Amino acid sequence: MLPEPFKTSDNGTFGEFTATQRWPTIIQNAIDDMNTELQSQSGECKKQGEAIAAQLVELRDEVAGNAPLRPFTHRETEIAAVPSCFNEYLADSRHQGATWFNAGWLFTEVYMYRRMNVLFKTHPLWTQFDIFNRLKQSTFHSSLHGVVELALRYKNLRLQLDKLSTQHDDETLRILFKEFIDISLWGNATDLSLLTNATLEDIKSIQGAQARKNAESKIVIDDTAKAWDALLKARTTARVDFVLDNSGFELYADLMLAAFLIHSNLVKNCVFHGKDIPYMVSDTMRKDFSALLEDLEDTKFFPTDDQASREALDVFAQDIRKLVKDGQLEFRADPFWTTDLDYWNLDPSETKYHGAQLHSDLVKSNLVIFKGDLNYRKLTGDRKWPRTTPWAEAIGPLATNGITLLSLRTCKADVQVGLPEGLDEKLSHAWEKDHPGKGSWWTSSGKWAVICFHSSR
Ligand SMILES: O=P(O)(O)OC[C@@]1(O)O[C@H](CO)[C@@H](O)[C@@H]1O
Ligand SMILES: [Mg+2]
Ligand SMILES: [Mn+2]
């Protein structure tokens, strides 16, 4: 018998907190950004925008008032191309009486972003407007320091990668792989000290290893070595896929990892899977991918009077553009990724919303990297598994249907599996000290991470 998915009505859970406290705030932030945007609009555009803002207020009140979850109307479905999986869920006998604060957390959260998108798609002058764009861009802009630091490191390493791959210095490549995985995992410039413009010897040295140990202590499950072995087996012609999470620095770190894999001749090409609508506030759309490259080359967006830094940013952006032009890096955005379907549907059995299509393509990949917490929730069905449940059990059909996967997850939700006996109790006890009654929320704090691999080949 499968455990139930987490619900927004589960007392004392982070999911309940997210629904009741964070969702109204997220919508209010969107209303505020809309009102800011409207100050520079006029005429019909302003009129439509004001209508959207008013409907966002209604949506906020609907959520805050714990209203029933309504199906999308025929008109909304037609104009906004809403996949019918949402209405199917709401029509399902098991989900009758669903309200915002009493329904599946995963479904309701994804449904909320779809409800917001419908408001824009049903106003002709606003169909392509990303209400989260201002926030995405300002967040990336404020990460200038980490962006420049990483660009300098990369430029330094880039020169040495050719040598490493011809010398077959796999040990150094393995260490660098781990570095780039860690940076992609945390999606920010946490611990760049290991990639200072030190020589490779330094990185291999004792203090490099010590600094790495410190960063590693927060990674409570680490299958990096298994992913490394999978790449070594497929080296020089491997394909690696990234099911993306956030735009901005996290996407930048993912691009760094992809460039490292390709230029170290381990991997031939990478496929990035983004979102087709604005989603979870910060998730990556095609336009965010293009904007990131433009931002790197924009002296106003990333001002630096340091010539070396300026050059490092330009070199990286040009390197990525070349990989795209040469077909070694591809960006796709299948509608499946923004449905409420969990990833047990990445399987031949799911033939309505592209699950089967994506599965037949992803089995050709040597490694599918799923980034972030929401993807982890979808891999495990966001279910109330005991936290020691084996990873292979929690990912259901993905354990046997031929996809080789790696989840790089910073822990930001209630669901957690794969822990050794006793660890949850230990970390809950520690977290309880500063968070009375919320000890189990250590898995929702973003302070710990897991790197979970599985291959059925
Ligand atoms: O996928 P990400 O960006 O790592 O995290 C997504 C997230 O912030 O949103 C949901 C709660 O609103 C949770 O899955 C998680 O906290
Ligand atoms: Mg994330
Ligand atoms: Mn995200």
Could you report the per-residue pLDDT of 182-229, keeping only the tens digit for each? 889 988 544 444 454 455 565 555 555 565 567 688 999 999 999 999
What's residue 167's pLDDT?
83
Q: How much is the pLDDT for 197? A: 44
Higher pLDDT, 118 or 182: 118
Instruction: Concatenate the DSSP letters of all residues of 246-274 into one string.
Output: BSTHHHHHHHHHHHHHHHTTSEEEEEEE-
Q: Give the pLDDT of residue 186.
A: 87
Q: Is the pLDDT reported for residue 13 higher than 90?
A: yes
Residue 338, pLDDT > 90, answer: yes
Q: Is the pLDDT of residue 44 over 80?
A: yes
Please give the pLDDT value at position 210.
62
3-12 pLDDT tens trace: 999 999 999 9
Q: Which two tokens stand for residue 234?
A: 């497929």
CA distance 251 to 185: 11
The region of weakest confidence among 63-67, 78-82, 150-154, 354-358 is: 150-154
- Per the CB < 8 A criterion, the answer to whether 34 and 131 are in contact is yes
373 CA from centroid of ligand 3 (Å): 7
For the chain, what is the mean pLDDT? 93
pLDDT at 156: 85
pLDDT tens digits, one per residue of 146-176: 899 889 989 888 888 878 878 888 999 998 9
Q: For ligand 1, what atom is nearest to the CA of residue 109? A: 12
CA of 374 from ligand 1 middle (Å) equals 5
Residue 192's pLDDT is: 45
From ligand 2's centre to the CA of 300, what distance in Å? 27
Q: How far apart are the first and last CA of the chain?
A: 27
Q: Does 131 have pLDDT greater than 70? A: yes
Q: Which residue owns the Cα nearest ligand 1 atom 9?
A: 374
Share of the chain above pLDDT 90, in %: 85
Q: Could you give phi then psi for residue 368, rounded to 5 degrees?
A: -105, 110
When pLDDT is averaged across residues 40-62 and rounded to a whole number, the result is 98
Considering only residues 164 and 272, tell me which one the structure prediction assigns the higher pLDDT.
272
CA 245 to centroid of ligand 2, rounded, Å = 5
pLDDT at 287 > cutoff 90: yes
Q: How confident is the model at residue 97 (pLDDT cuts 50, 70, 90)?
A: very high
Residues enclosing ligand 1, CB less than 6 A? 18, 22, 109, 245-246, 280, 372-374, 377, 410, 412-413
| pLDDT at residue number 179 | 87
Ligand 1, atom 11: nearest CA belongs to which residue? 18
Burial readout 83-110 (b: 16 or more C-beta within 10 A, e: otherwise) = bebbbebbeeeeeeebbbbbbbbbbbbb
Furthest CA-CA distance within the chain = 65
